[in-house]
Amino acid sequence: MSNEPHAPNDSPPKRDDMAAGREANSKQPPAKNQSKNHKSRQKSHQGRRLYAALDLGTNNCRLLIVERDGGNGFRVRDGFSRIVRLGEGLERTGRLSEDAMTRTIAALRICAGKIRRAGISRMRCVATEACRGAENGEDFIKRVKRDTGLRLEIIDGKAEAELAAIGCGSLFNPDVDDIILFDIGGGSTEVSRMSRQENSFFKLVDSDSLPLGVVRLAERHAGIGPHEHGYEGMLSESETRLQKFMDRQSDITDMSRLQIIGTSGTVTTLAAVQLGLAKYDRNVVDGCTIAAGDITRVIGDLRGLSRDELAANPCIGSQRADLVLAGCAVLEAIYRRWPVAEFSVADRGLREGLLLRMIRSDGRRGGRGANRNRNRNRNRNRNRKNRSHGTSSGGHNGQET
């Protein structure tokens, strides 16, 4: 999943119109010494419906807490994002290291505290490539539950791609025929194709999850020198691993009828750098479009910088200086296959997909409940009317009693 460090709590994401699915529930018990305050907060939250989604990726731990905003939309109430590098060294050892797990649990404790204090109605916490690929991934999930109370669910790449598509649905261009959406994470890259149907609804028709995460690519190809980024090797591997998915989309030939959406720290960072932002601003970046020529120019400029020079850029920073060019290699491989005029940039994805599914699921349940109440009231009125006329509708075929 996305490796960006920016917690998107500046403004609420827009509503989207993708389909919903089923979710898991989890509630966190209050600490013993906070029980009175917890009951008070629960009382203050009555009438509000709060949801939480947590995405633990190979590089980032990210939480979003929202309040349902009528219909199927929501308003952001709180957020958290921290680079934990859970998958550091995983490519070499096949296991999550003790240092990485300790860093990650420290971040998850903060998330658990925010969830507990917020009085969440529903939540879902998922883990992606690092946990599903590590030999000790399941053991780590159990440790998280024991140490933080959070129940993490390891999801597969297909589910990850679908959730990202749901989260980005409001950015879909209704005037195109096909959409390629990609999410460059720390451990994997998810790439999907949506095709417009007769009713103008975009249907997910193909997706793939590939071991092209920025942490993995950097560990495989980068050298120790300040300019040894290993870019050509990362680009070659990206093209090779993406080839099968690209070949399956061989019918996409008209670039004017194709939209490409990137939802990852790589794309949002490149957009921020190209826009010349003094610091990252989600309100400016999310939903913007960047000319492909500008993207390739920025990539070229970044390739010429040392790691220290990359770290000095306020939109990159020291924590991502050794990873940003790995994401650029994946992006360039995609652009070489589909040379569109511009890219759409999304600072949203899996967490928003989780939230929208939960909200829509509750909405459908509420609708069914309302129908049941209407039917119950209709039957009650019918029975009352029948009794006033000396008849029963309780299975006696209207005979007199």
pLDDT digits (tens, 9 = 90+) for 250-284: 999 999 999 999 998 899 999 999 999 999 999 99
- 102 domain-assigned: no
- 218 domain-assigned: yes
What is the pLDDT averaged over residues 2-18? 34
- 185 domain-assigned: yes
Residue-wise pLDDT tens digits, 357-392: 999 988 887 655 445 555 555 665 565 555 544 433
Residue 200: pLDDT band (50, 70, 90) is confident
Residue 40: pLDDT band (50, 70, 90) is very low
Tell me how far apart the alpha carbons of residues 264 and 63 are, in angstroms, rounded to a whole number: 15
Tell me how far apart the alpha carbons of residues 200 and 101 are, in angstroms, rounded to a whole number: 45
302, 208 Cβ separation under 8 angstroms: no
- 178 domain-assigned: yes
- 140 domain-assigned: no
77, 206 Cβ separation under 8 angstroms: no
Task: Check residues 324 and 12 and name the one with the higher pLDDT.
Answer: 324
- 53 domain-assigned: no
Question: ∠ CA(250), CA(187), CA(246), 5° rounding?
Answer: 5
- 164 domain-assigned: yes
Domain total of the chain:
1
Structural domain span for residue 310: 159-350
pTM of the model: 0.78
Task: Give residue 379's pLDDT.
Answer: 60
Rounded to a whole number of angstroms, the distance between the first and last alpha carbons of the chain is: 67
5, 60 Cβ separation under 8 angstroms: yes
> CATH number of the domain that 191 lies in?
3.30.420.150
Task: Give residue 265's pLDDT.
Answer: 87
> What percent of the chain shows pLDDT beyond 70?
79
- Spatial neighbors of 123 by CB under 8 A, at least 6 apart, are 25, 26, 27, 51, 52, 53, 54, 115, 358
- 86 domain-assigned: no
